Amino acid sequence: MRIISLVNQKGGVGKTTCTINIGAALARLGKRVLLIDLDPQSSMTTALGAKGASPTVYDALRGSCALSDALLVHGRYVLLPSSIDLSAAEQELAGVAGRECVLREAIAESLGQYDYILIDCPPSLSLLTLNALVASGEVLIALQTEYLALEGMTQLLATIDLVRKRLNASLSLSGIIATQYDARKGLHNEVVATIAEAFPGALFKTRVRSNIALAEATSYALDIFEYKPKCNGAADFAALAREIAAQEERLE
Ligand SMILES: Nc1ncnc2c1ncn2[C@@H]1O[C@H](COP(=O)(O)OP(=O)(O)OP(=O)(O)O)[C@@H](O)[C@H]1O
Ligand SMILES: [Mg+2]
Residue 152 Cβ < 6 Å to ligand 1: no
Rg value, the chain, Cα: 17
Closest residue to atom 30 of ligand 1, CA basis: 215
Residues whose CB is less than 8 angstroms from the CB of residue 134 and which lie 6 or more positions away in sequence, other chains included: 100, 101, 103, 104, 163, 167, 168
Residue 11 Cβ < 6 Å to ligand 1: yes
Residue 251 confidence (pLDDT) = 64
In single-letter form, the type of residue at position 161 comes to D
Closest residue to atom 13 of ligand 1, CA basis: 12
Counting ligands in written order, the one closest to the CA of 216 is: 1
- Establish how many alpha carbons lie within 13 A of residue 229's alpha carbon, considering only the half-sphere containing its beta carbon: 5
* CA atoms of 235 and 224, how far apart (whole Å): 9
CA torsion sign for 236, 237, 238, 239 is positive
- For the chain, the first-to-last Cα distance in angstroms comes to 11
* CA atoms of 116 and 251, how far apart (whole Å): 14
Top mutation candidate among 9, 15, 17 for ligand 1, by most atoms within 8 Å of CB: 17
> Rounded to 5, what percent of the chain is helix, strand, coil?
50, 15, 35
* CA atoms of 77 and 146, how far apart (whole Å): 31
Whether the pTM exceeds 0.85: the reply is yes
CB atoms under 10 Å from CB of 137, counted, come to 16
* CA atoms of 156 and 8, how far apart (whole Å): 7
Phi and psi at 204, nearest 5°, equal -65, 145
Residue 118 and residue 91 in contact, taking contact as beta carbons nearer than 8 Å: no
Q: How far is CA 86 from CA 121, 172, 190, 231, 244, in A?
A: 12, 26, 38, 34, 29
Residue 149 Cβ < 6 Å to ligand 1: no
Render each residue's pLDDT in the chain as its tens digit; 252 residues.
999 999 999 999 999 999 999 999 999 999 999 999 999 999 999 999 999 999 999 999 999 999 999 999 999 999 999 999 999 998 899 888 899 999 999 999 888 999 999 999 999 999 999 999 999 999 999 999 987 788 889 999 999 999 999 999 999 999 999 999 998 999 999 999 999 999 999 999 999 999 999 999 999 999 999 999 999 999 999 999 999 999 997 766
Length of the chain: 252
Residue 148 confidence (pLDDT) = 78
Distance of CA 236 from the midpoint of ligand 1 (Å): 15
